[in-house]
Chains A and B, each alone.
Chain A
Amino acid sequence: MKIIKENIKNYIPQREPFIMVDNILDANAEKFQTDFTIFSDNIFLEGDKLSECALIENIAQSCAAGLFLINMEKASKPLDGFIGGISKLFVFDLPKVGDTINTDVYFLHQFANMYLMKGEVYLNKKKLLECELKLAGL
């Protein structure tokens, strides 16, 4: 299943300039995959590099998009939620303007309206960042 950038606002609650996901490349019950190209007007740029906060937000938005996509029969609109916790965070490198990052998100656990997800962000197959997110209220 693929959702293109022009339609991404139908799948996440965020709006410009806070959108940190372009395309949903695939989504199934275990894993979601997205990509995102960094332009010079990104609000999370520090110099010519995207901050780690933006990469974490990219993972969170990838989670939101994927969870909505696989739950569309039950949910009528993009899912609102918040990051309840970040753990096991490792930052290896940061992307710069012009780069396109690829993000893999793995569904680890759900209890009530809370989700434990693992995210990995790559640039040309090199891992930039990984972490686990606790998401709530989705």
Chain B
Amino acid sequence: MDIEKIKLELKSQIIEQLNLIDIKAEDIRDEDPLFVEGLGLDSIDALELVVILEKYHGVKITDETLGRKVLYSIQTMAEFVVAEKLK
């Protein structure tokens, strides 16, 4: 499973789903926090990220504590997708 491909897909999906019209995929660094600093998302946007993971990647987050860790950055989201797919 190509984690780099997943990261690129996640960036494009986040931009599209959240309508981030001024941001390009290459502007989002893998390790940067997605919330507040970094990409500047707010807590409501977390819902959209959960939807992206389920809709496009077939993985679910139901636990809020896990969600905080997984939704930290593109890197953590992609690692979660890979780990879940390998289960």
A residues adjacent to B (C-beta < 8 A): 84-85, 87, 108-109, 111-112, 114-116, 134, 136
- How many Å lie between the Cα of A84 and that of B44 in the bound state? 6
- How many Å lie between the Cα of A52 and that of B60 in the bound state? 34
Contact A111 B43 (CB under 8 A): no
A90: shortest Cβ distance to chain B, in Å? 15
Chain A residues in 8 Å Cβ range of B43 = 114, 136
Interface residues on B, range: 10 to 19
Contact A136 B44 (CB under 8 A): yes
Interface residue stretch chosen among B20-28, B47-55, B78-86? B47-55
Contact B54 A109 (CB under 8 A): yes
Tell me whether B64 is interfacial, beta carbon within 8 Å. Answer: yes
Chain A residues in 8 Å Cβ range of B54 = 109
Chain B residues in 8 Å Cβ range of A134 = 44, 47-48
Contact B51 A116 (CB under 8 A): yes
Tell me whether B6 is interfacial, beta carbon within 8 Å. Answer: no
